[in-house]
A and B are shown apart, each in its own frame.
Chain A
Amino acid sequence: MSVPHISAFYFGAIALVLIGLYAILVKKNILKMLIGLSIMETGVNLLLVSIGYISGRSAPILSEGIGPNQAVDPIPQALVLTAIVIGVATTAMALSAVIVLYKRYGTLNIEEIRRLRG
């Protein structure tokens, strides 16, 4: 088992994913789990953007002095733009589901909700 050599930027993204996953696995409060999910999403977006990065090049806006060979890859950025919007939409959905759960059970603890259901 050798230690893989990865860039610090990927390491940050992986760390965010793992922190979010830890919250999802361990926490019992639904809100905290949702926050974990959001952190995980941020990590994945960061990873995608950093894969498209090319050192020494600038943002893909072809204005003065920036030709097609001085810009980074535009595709990961466009895809992450999509992913962020979908993430916001699904988070809003999940939060409203949490509101409904809280109204019905009076608690956010996932184990109690499970037990009350029988």
Chain B
Amino acid sequence: MLKRGLAIITLLIIGYWLAQGLAGVPFGQDKMLVGQYYLDHVKEQTGSVNAVTAVVVNYRGFDTLGEVTVLFIASTGVGALLWERKKRRTAKTEGSIVLTTGTRLLVPFVILFGAYIFIHGHLTPGGGFPGGATIATAFLLLYMAFTMYEIPHKAFEKTEGLVGMGYVIVGLIGLAIGGYFLFDWIWQTWGWGHDNIGRLFSGGFIPIIYTIIGLKVGTELSGIIDNMLKEEVSE
């Protein structure tokens, strides 16, 4: 009881402090400093109509590379924490007929939808991370429906490594052509898509980078799901 009271008092103090700090930040008013530059120049500099995507991939592509690295380290960490010599899925009940039939029907479409999200990242809300997460939900469905299902580990590990290298290679090609890492060589040097901004084949290397990120996030999250669902078996 005392602990609870102390906690509530602490919360009230912190809440008052936060509110005091935010009282000077008006809601819904224009306080853009850097954002306005991005909005003004996003179309001619990157060919993307979605400014958020342009910030994530073009203006701050290096941060995104770090983010993908953090995700990779986390998925490796999950694997290391849950490592056992002998691991297998020990689910005991098969999914109901609704779940199994629905899964058979839906999985290709869920994967297709994930691919749609990351390919159209420069045009619509979305991009590599939500697309990859959508693809991982398809594999989660398979895991829930079928007791003995396992993802194809070798293919997934190879894909993950290849797309990870692909991101760095795209960045290095930019370094060779334009002089800095992750230079958008397709848009700036080759000029692809200058005439059709807003169509699928515009946006420079954003679709390529987002396909890479989508595949990497999808494989990594599927790997995390796989690690969490397996249990140690003693033989």
Please report A residues at the B interface, Cβ cutoff 8 Å.
Answer: 4-7, 9-11, 14, 17-18, 21-22, 25-26, 47, 50-55, 59-63, 68-69, 71, 73-75, 77-78, 81-82, 84-86, 88-90, 92-93, 95-97, 99-100
Q: For the complex formed, measure the closest distance between the CB of B21 and the CB atoms of chain A, giving whole angstroms.
A: 9
Smallest CB-CB A-B distances: 7 pairs: A89-B74, A7-B27, A55-B28, A4-B23, A60-B51, A74-B51, A73-B35
Task: Specify the chain A residue showing the minimal Cβ separation from B30.
Answer: A54
A/B interface sample: 22 pairs, CB < 8 A = A4-B16, A4-B20, A22-B8, A26-B4, A26-B7, A54-B29, A54-B30, A54-B32, A63-B49, A68-B39, A68-B42, A71-B51, A73-B35, A74-B35, A74-B39, A78-B56, A82-B63, A84-B129, A85-B129, A89-B75, A93-B81, A96-B78
B82 at the interface (CB under 8 A from A): yes
CA A54 to CA B39, docked complex, whole Å: 14
- The answer to whether A10 touches B51, judged by C-beta atoms less than 8 angstroms apart, is no
| Number of cross-chain contacts by CB at 8 Å | 146
Q: CB within 8 A of A63: which of B27, B54, B75, B198?
A: B198
- The answer to whether B78 touches A92, judged by C-beta atoms less than 8 angstroms apart, is yes
- The answer to whether B56 touches A14, judged by C-beta atoms less than 8 angstroms apart, is no
Q: CB within 8 A of A62: which of B4, B19, B42, B56?
A: B42
| Number of B interface residues in the complex (CB < 8 A) | 62
B67 at the interface (CB under 8 A from A): yes
- The answer to whether A92 touches B224, judged by C-beta atoms less than 8 angstroms apart, is yes
Q: Majority SS of interface residues in chain A? A: helix
Q: Which residues of A contact B224 (CB under 8 A)?
A: 92
Q: Which residues of A contact B129 (CB under 8 A)?
A: 81, 84-85
Q: For the complex formed, measure the closest distance between the CB of A89 and the CB atoms of chain B, giving whole angstroms.
A: 3
Q: For the complex formed, measure the closest distance between the CB of B121 and the CB atoms of chain A, giving whole angstroms.
A: 11
Question: Which residue among B3, B39, B50, B64 has the maximum number of chain A CB atoms within 10 Å of its CB?
Answer: B39
